[in-house]
Amino acid sequence: MLRRGLLLILSSPSGAGKSTLSRRLMDWDRSLRFSVSATTRRPRPGEQDGREYYFRSRDAFEAMVREGQMLEHAEVFGNFYGSPRGPVEKAMAEGRDTLFDIDWQGGQQIRNSALGRDVVSVFVLPPSIAELESRLRGRAQDSEAVIAERMAKSEAEISHWAEYDYVIVNNDLDTAFNDLVTILQAERLRRDRQPQLADFVRGLNREFSAR
């Protein structure tokens, strides 16, 4: 039964595990489309344009916003990030789900957009603030100043947890992943996401009448 694709938003403070969960979910279901964001930040070593991000100049990014090409966008740590609209709408029309690894600002914009009825939002919490800081340091990607800035922002990010449909506490990665899979499977089976069910049930009723 063909259904309209849904938009799965995964958010968390930096270091809580949303990116790791996103990668595992993409490996679990190859039909799931990952929304590659556009950004004005510089590529990190090993990153490629169009794979991790679409790397754009600030002028080019702002032009995309003015032309309505961004489903959402926000400024984070001095750089712009945003989700190009066209690929998302194409995937939805094909019945494919799109996964967003974005912050609360981007999630809020998508939920408030014309596509809001197709959103399923999940917020990932760390088991403790001490563990959150430990994970940030363990990544060995950021300077002490950046780590301090991310930790300072975490309190504000966590304050938006109640805006989400589901909340997962990432105390154990395997358990958190299983919870995420359960959420996605249940949301795919919602009656209002299966538009051909009415025709299917009418067919069953015709079988009753023919007995």
In a domain, 72, yes or no: yes
In a domain, 205, yes or no: no
Report the mean per-residue pLDDT for the chain: 91
Q: Above 80 in pLDDT, residue 139?
A: no
Determine phi and psi for 17, rounding to 5 degrees: 120, 10
Tens-place pLDDT, residues 110-121: 999 889 999 999
Instruction: Report how far residue 102's alpha carbon sits from residue 124's, in angstroms, rounded to the nearest whole number.
Output: 11
The burial class, CB within 10 Å (0-12 / 13-18 / 19+), for 194 is middle
CATH code of residue 174 = 3.40.50.300
In a domain, 61, yes or no: yes
Tens-place pLDDT, residues 13-35: 988 989 899 999 999 999 999 99
In a domain, 211, yes or no: no
Predicted local distance difference test score (pLDDT) of residue 38: 94
| Domains: count for the chain | 1
Tens-place pLDDT, residues 151-200: 888 989 999 999 999 999 999 999 999 999 999 999 999 998 888 889 99
Band the pLDDT of 108: cuts 50, 70, 90: very high
Tokens of 163: 């805006």
Instruction: Please state, as a whole number, how many other Cβ atoms lie within 10 Å of the Cβ of residue 53.
Output: 18
Cβ-contact 7, 97 below 8 angstroms: yes
Instruction: Please state, as a whole number, how many other Cβ atoms lie within 10 Å of the Cβ of residue 112.
Output: 11
In a domain, 164, yes or no: yes
Q: Where are the alpha helices (DSSP H) in 30-172?
A: 58-66, 85-93, 104-111, 129-139, 144-158
Q: Note if the pTM is more than 0.95.
A: no
Q: Percent helix, strand, coil in the chain (nearest 5)?
A: 50, 20, 30
The burial class, CB within 10 Å (0-12 / 13-18 / 19+), for 172 is exposed
Range of the domain at 75: 7-199
In a domain, 45, yes or no: yes
Band the pLDDT of 59: cuts 50, 70, 90: very high
In a domain, 173, yes or no: yes
In a domain, 209, yes or no: no
